[in-house]
Amino acid sequence: MATRTAQAVEPILWRASLSAGSVTLADAIREKIAETRSHLLDFIKLDETHPHHALTLAQWQRPVERQSLLAAYSDHIYRNQPGLARENKPLLSLWAQWYIGLMVPPVMLALLTQDRVLDLSPDHFHVEFHETGRAACFWIDVHEDQNARQLSAQERMEMLVTRALIPVIEALEQTGEINGKLIWSNTGYLIHWYLTEMKPLLGDEKVDALRQSCFFAKQLSDGRDNPLFRTVVPRDGLLVRRTCCQRYRLPDVQQCGDCTLK
């Protein structure tokens, strides 16, 4: 099935880089990134000492920390129109696109190209935030998940959903300002786009199978509802985003090139 070029997150996410194995899992992932999408290494640091101000999910989701980050981001977005009434739903949507858009592609690359499996425990991920309040860099303490080596590609993607994404989206839902379904819609389109980018590494058949399991299976293999279900849908022979990300409602923020409202 043909696909459209995704424009769901800021332009930095769409530049192109990783290689095959060295001694450590961190080195193997780093080499694969350098080989295929080297720009990801600008904002993914593997087994490097994180700055003291970088925060784990458990730290930044505390109400005071989270509100401070979102307030800084709101001030940045509305800097040229300070008198405009602020809309928190599209603001959180775009904040989440930065966070998840920086994290997901390199983690997908690690999960789907390495025999050894990256441990996705949130405590192993420290996030450095930009002065504007949005995510800027992930510092990952690389550990192998010894129990996951035999998992299929589908099961590894489900690990990404359950261990890395659900906790983040639940933390944002706790603000009471956004429904997680909107963030999942954005995230589904990101994953759809990056699966297309990974075709040279994985092959058409594997990518098509992953699309089927990610977006058209109602349940995960453990029986839980699949939050990615129908976040992209077929339309005119293409898989397209199902819902608008709402970013157009923010001042000085460009509308997506393939916005559903067009």
- Residue 262 pLDDT grade (very low, low, confident, very high; cuts 50, 70, 90): low
199-258 residue pLDDT tens: 999 999 999 999 999 999 999 999 999 999 999 999 888 898 888 888 899 999 987 766
**Sheet strands side by side (includes 125-129):** 44-46, 135-140, 125-129
- State the pLDDT at residue 7: 43
Of 96-100, 178-182, 194-198, 256-260, least confident by mean pLDDT is 256-260
- State the pLDDT at residue 257: 64
Q: Which domains are assigned to the chain?
A: 8-249 (1.10.510)
Residues 6+ apart with CB under 8 A from 73: 91, 95, 132, 133, 134
77-124 residue pLDDT tens: 999 999 999 999 999 999 999 999 999 999 999 999 999 999 999 999
14-31 residue pLDDT tens: 333 333 333 699 999 999
From CA 178, how far away is CA 73, in angstroms rounded?
16
Concatenate the DSSP letters of all residues of 112-154 into one string: HH-SS-B---GGGEEEEEPTTSSEEEEEE---B-TT-TT--HH
**Whole-prediction pTM:** 0.90
In contact, 173 and 179? CB cutoff 8 Å:
yes
Share of the chain above pLDDT 90, in %: 82
